[in-house]
Amino acid sequence: MRRPSVLEWILIGFLLGIVAGATVGPSIAIIKPLGTVFIRLLKMLVVPLIFSTLTVGVSTSSGGKLGRMIGKTFLFYYVTGICALLIGLIIAGVSRVGTGMQLGGVREVALQKAPPLSQVLLNIIPTNPIKALAEGNILQIIFFAILFGIAISKAGKAAEPVKDFLQAVAQTMYRLVNLVLYYAPIGVFSLIAWTVGTHGLGVLKPFAYLIFLFYLGCAIQLFLVYGGLLRLLKIRPFRFFGRIKEAPFFAFSTCSSSATLPVTMRVVQGTGVSATTASFVLPMGASINMDGTAIYQAMCVVFLANAFGMHLTVAQMAIVGVTALLASIGTAGVPGSGLIMLTMVLGSVGVPVEGIAFVAGIDRIMDMARTAVNVVDDSVAAAMVAVTEGETLSEDMMIS
Ligand code: ASP
């Protein structure tokens, strides 16, 4: 008999996790550390992986190509981000989700203030790149890696050893990703069992409609927006999704696009996207490109406004759109950070921020889907940049 592949083992872990969580209930939390081990292992890979691959990628690209790639990547981020917001606002607006819920007895929540945009932008420049690496500050690492890569290519022969060294580090890191994946079935099992065990049906019931609409919004974004874009690029959407499925699957289990990054880099390169493009588009995407989070924030604001008996005007909806786009950019790729940034969006239109307490209980369930959308979002961005830069993806994925 054929032995199951790693992916099949992971799927088995996922299904067993659901069964274990549902049968054991909240006390399954005892195995959560096994999942934490997995997330830590994945995070361990992120900094050396992005620094080495991005620096090598940039050092082998010409200045013109780099500028074009940055332009295209950002254009993609914004266009699909706006689609995501519209989907969230329209679904929530039309369905009037939350109306009549009469939220009362609002609990106080500790709020985190969103920093001003100028500060966010300034913070991208590291004053000490070693500190940025040590602290795993992804945007600062990207900033430094791009400049470092450009300097390597300008320095020519003198910097060859640095480039060779980083190339070797990148290859080694890819190997290490494969090794870590052997632990994935246990990690996924434990994370899913914990989620199902601690978020039983009782917690979900009053919010079932919101959760359903949110998953619907995610499906529309995936199949209509990304599917449509892939078709425009002459890529078969379902083949592409099939090829990268490990990434959203891991995102679903870990609720962290940053922790999923090593897997996303691996599967996206498996579609034929070059290492240069993947290492350029994906790490940046994992920090600032979050369409799933944008759908979630737009929907939650309308939901909470309805639940508090407020009526949002079209102008207020537009404010929600702009703030949610900025908030999703500022959201870190870690579990639950979209919930924290939601305070900023709620505050922008005067919906009581304390409403967060109500959605916090179901956040994990929503985080799973939004993180999965976030990593597919990045993967499609990488494919778009690759195809428009003349790279050839696997032939069987292309519409001839
Ligand atoms: N968990 C999400 C991510 O890692 C971010 C969020 O909470 O919305 O992509």
Distance, CA 256 to ligand 1 centroid (Å)?
Answer: 6
Distance, CA 218 to ligand 1 centroid (Å)?
Answer: 14
Index of the ligand 1 atom closest to the CA of residue 292: 8
Q: What is the DSSP letter of 26?
A: G
Bridge partners for 235 per DSSP? 398
List the chain pLDDT tens, one digit each, 400 residues: 677 777 788 889 888 988 998 899 889 999 999 989 988 888 888 889 889 988 988 888 777 788 888 899 989 988 999 999 999 999 998 998 888 776 654 444 444 555 676 777 788 899 999 999 999 887 888 889 989 999 998 998 999 999 999 999 988 988 888 888 889 899 989 988 988 888 776 666 778 899 999 999 999 999 999 999 999 999 999 999 999 999 999 999 999 998 999 999 999 999 999 998 998 899 888 888 899 999 999 999 999 998 888 888 888 888 888 888 877 777 778 888 888 888 878 888 888 887 887 788 788 889 999 999 999 999 999 999 999 999 989 989 888 7
From CA 57, how far away is CA 107, in angstroms rounded?
49
Q: Show the tokens assigned to 194.
A: 């914990």
SS (H, E, C) 264-318: HHHHHHHCCCCHHHHHHHHHHHHHHCCHHHHHHHHHHHHHHHHHCCCCCCHHHHH
Q: What is the DSSP letter of 398?
A: B
Site to substitute for ligand 1 among 46, 85, 263, 334, most atoms within 8 A of C-beta: 334
Whose Cα sits closest to atom 7 in ligand 1? 338
Q: Does the beta carbon of 257 lie inside 6 Å of ligand 1?
A: yes
From CA 362, how far away is CA 300, in angstroms rounded?
12
Domain map of the chain by residue range?
Answer: 6-393
Q: Show the tokens assigned to 180.
A: 């870590």
Note the pTM of the prediction, 2 decimals.
0.85
Distance, CA 142 to ligand 1 centroid (Å)?
Answer: 19
Whose Cα sits closest to atom 6 in ligand 1? 338
**pLDDT tens digit sequence for 255-287:** 999 899 999 999 999 999 999 899 889 988 888
User: Could you give the C-alpha distances from 325 to 24, 216, 312, 342, 348, in angstroms and in order?
Assistant: 39, 20, 18, 11, 12
- Is residue 51 within 8 A of residue 143, CB to CB? The reply is no
Residues 6+ apart with CB under 8 A from 346: 300, 301, 304, 352, 353, 355, 356
In CATH, what class is 6-393? mainly alpha
From CA 302, how far away is CA 342, in angstroms rounded?
12
Q: Show the tokens assigned to 288.
A: 């600032």
Bridge partners for 398 per DSSP? 235
332: burial class by Cβ within 10 Å (0-12, 13-18, 19+)? buried
Alpha helix locations (H) across the chain?
A: 6-24, 32-59, 63-95, 117-122, 129-135, 138-155, 160-181, 184-198, 201-204, 208-220, 227-232, 237-244, 246-254, 257-270, 275-288, 291-307, 314-330, 337-348, 356-360, 363-388
- Is residue 251 within 8 A of residue 378, CB to CB? The reply is no
Site to substitute for ligand 1 among 284, 289, 325, 337, most atoms within 8 A of C-beta: 337
**pLDDT tens digit sequence for 164-214:** 999 999 889 888 888 888 898 999 899 889 888 887 766 667 788 999 999
From CA 146, how far away is CA 160, in angstroms rounded?
16
Residue with the two structure tokens 């350029």: 280
Residue with the two structure tokens 């039309």: 94
Q: Does the beta carbon of 371 lie inside 6 Å of ligand 1?
A: yes
